[in-house]
A and B are shown apart, each in its own frame.
Chain A
């Protein structure tokens, strides 16, 4: 009885949930990188991004987690799937994978990982002396419309130009004879 009660402590449940979400993230990332079928990669990316959204919840910001789901899973992954459907037919035979290239890529990834983790564990991270604890979405919106207004507008302009550019690029490609 006592052990059952300790199992459903919120602290313990949070730990289990965190481990599960991290496992989900890395399983998704592995599926996104390794299989040769491109559709499996996109599905792995969706799983991985869902896990990242869960990590954002653990970092104290459900709003950013929802934005992650909305923008990445809802928009970017769907448009990648559209690009897959518009490009290479899936039933064609996939190109063979060359082992030396995979080995070299693994070496580069390992070097980057070792360098990054050395930096992480060698640095003494100091928290700021005065930290406010205002996490509310209200303040976030206020900041977006006051202090970070210029960047906000710049991002909107960049998005507009990117969408117009995407339409123009794919439109010209259709008209020009190949």
Chain B
């Protein structure tokens, strides 16, 4: 339980689940949820390296906090875009949002 490999393995599994979700979903909100999973996998990696390898165990925590801030900004922008797309197309299916298609 208390080794670096366990945590890295958990993070890798979470990240692959996120990638699977992004490719498999067609609803924009589902893709956003999968992206949140991937960001969390990255946070777990930072915290694990921070716990087992880093010279200064504060830096990894600060980095994780920054990831959370960026994720909050990203979620706000993405959700407002989703609401705008829905008002325009009456759908959040990614395959209907192809007005820019050449």
Contacts and interface: CB of A to CB of B under 8 A. Distances in A.
B20 A109 contact: yes
A56 B68 contact: no
Interface residues of A, number: 86
A128 B55 contact: yes
A60 interface: yes
Contacts, number: 229
B97 interface: no
Contacts of B71: 71-72, 76
A160 to B, nearest CB: 9
A64 B69 CA distance: 12
B77 A162 contact: yes
A126 B52 CA distance: 9
Interface in B26-57: 26-27, 29-30, 32-34, 36-37, 40, 43-44, 47-48, 50-57
Contacts of B59: 143
A32 B18 CA distance: 9
B23 A61 contact: no
A140 interface: yes
Contacts of B92: 87-88
A122 B46 CA distance: 19
B16 A112 contact: yes
A44 to B, nearest CB: 8
B4 to A, nearest CB: 6
B15 A127 contact: no
A109 B17 contact: yes
Interface string A92-136: 000100000110111011101100110011000111111111110
A167 B80 contact: yes
Given A61-B61, A104-B23, A80 B32 contact: yes
Given A38-B29, A126-B53, A155-B66, A33 B1 contact: no
Nearest to A98: B26
A109 B52 contact: no
Interface of A: 14-15, 18-19, 22, 25-26, 29-30, 32-33, 38, 41-42, 45, 48-49, 52, 55-56, 59-61, 63-64, 67-68, 71-72, 75-76, 79-80, 82-84, 86-88, 95, 101-102, 104-106, 108-110, 112-113, 116-117, 120-121, 125-135, 139-140, 143-144, 148, 151, 155, 158-159, 161-163, 165-167, 169-170, 172-174, 178
Interface of B: 1, 4-5, 7-10, 12-21, 23-27, 29-30, 32-34, 36-37, 40, 43-44, 47-48, 50-59, 61-62, 64-66, 68-77, 79-84, 86-89, 91-93
